Amino acid sequence: MACSKTEAPADPIRSVKTVQVEQATDQGDLKWPGDIRARVESKLGFRVPGKLLQRHVELGQRVALGQELARLDERDLELAVLNAQAQLDAARTQRDLASSEFKRFENLKNQQFISEAELERRSTTLKAAQAQLDQATAQLRLQRNQREDTRLFANAKGVVTAIEAEVGQVVAAGQTVVRLAHEGPREVAVSVPEQQLKRMAVGQSMKVKVHATGETGLARVRDIAAAADPATRTFEVRLALEAGFQPPLGSSVQVTLAAQGKPSDALSVPATAVIRKGQSSVVWVLDASSMTVRAQPVQVGDLVGERMVITQGLQAGQTIVAAGAHVLTEGQRVVRFEAKP
């Protein structure tokens, strides 16, 4: 049987996303991830240490002003109150005894039976007993206050956004147990790198897009942190949302600062359109008549946002491949990608 040559399979027709080459601006779009927060948030914790005995709220629950959120085991503090009460009773008894002796010695002094110095010593004893009584009274009041501090209350009407302690856990004084987002205006919190901070100013308007729903709205810069986060070296920026645009708390959003400046002589393309071939950078230029692509060497400049500046090799208006460039070969046939509704 004679051997026959098998024809090489034809290159598949690739589906690609195309864009037109645009003139670059002095400053491109900047985008940052962010999340929706309440303008006022409280990190609530106990003023005394102890074991968490009860927690009355769950994540996402709405609470009213003064509502009890959690409670510590107060048995040790109850014993401290009883001890302070006993010390107060003993101090009151000593004061009463010193007061009676002072009155008796005062009568003796009036009858010239004792000296002035002896009466003065009795007066000093009475003052010391009164001071101990005052101290015991204050100590009892302190212990009672600490016993009351075993109950944690909401300091405002709002929504529980975080639970940071569970029943049975021993918490320290001041440790956050519940995070509460107060009712009222909501805003966006974003972390901005230091080199991009110069593009921002208080009152500046930006576009906000909610990832989950695709809803968009506007927000204005309300506050820019004066110092960078020590771990990330970014600055927290707070943006106040416009009226009527109030996404749910905790929603993930994308904040976009539109390009500023006039068009420059350079061109710009999506960063995904530029690929490396050996020592040079290329983009795939589309021939619309034959629906084939060819590699075009380019000289690249700075990366501005999500776009790459092209200083040489392209012309404004040319159609290039923006997505799918890494799987193409010279002269390969392609079709434009169309998203299904």
Assess if residue 1 is contained within a domain: no
Q: Do 100 and 133 lie in a common domain?
A: yes
Structure tokens at 7: 């024809």
Q: Do 50 and 109 lie in a common domain?
A: no
- Reduced to 3 states (helix: H, G, I; strand: E, B; else coil), residue 185 is coil
pLDDT tens column, 141-159: 999 999 999 999 999 999 9
Give the predicted TM-score (pTM) of the model.
0.58
Q: Do 255 and 170 lie in a common domain?
A: no
pLDDT tens column, 234-280: 999 999 998 888 888 888 999 988 765 555 567 878 888 888 887 88
Assess if residue 167 is contained within a domain: yes
What ranges make up the beta strands (E) of 172-259?
Answer: 178-182, 186-193, 205-210, 216-224, 234-241, 252-257
Domain termination residue (choose one: 260, 295, 312): 260
Q: Do 188 and 249 lie in a common domain?
A: yes
pLDDT tens column, 26-72: 556 778 899 999 999 999 999 999 999 999 999 989 999 999 999 99
Assess if residue 2 is contained within a domain: no
Q: Do 241 and 296 lie in a common domain?
A: no
Q: Do 63 and 174 lie in a common domain?
A: yes
Measured at the alpha carbon of residue 324, what is the angle toward residues 292 and 285, in degrees to the nearest 5?
40
- Which CATH number do you get for residue 212? 2.40.30.170
Assess if residue 9 is contained within a domain: no
User: Domain range holding 115?
Assistant: 75-148
Domain termination residue (choose one: 139, 158, 181): 181
The number of domains in the chain is: 4
Q: Do 171 and 290 lie in a common domain?
A: no
- Which CATH number do you get for residue 328? 2.40.420.20
Domain termination residue (choose one: 231, 260, 289): 260
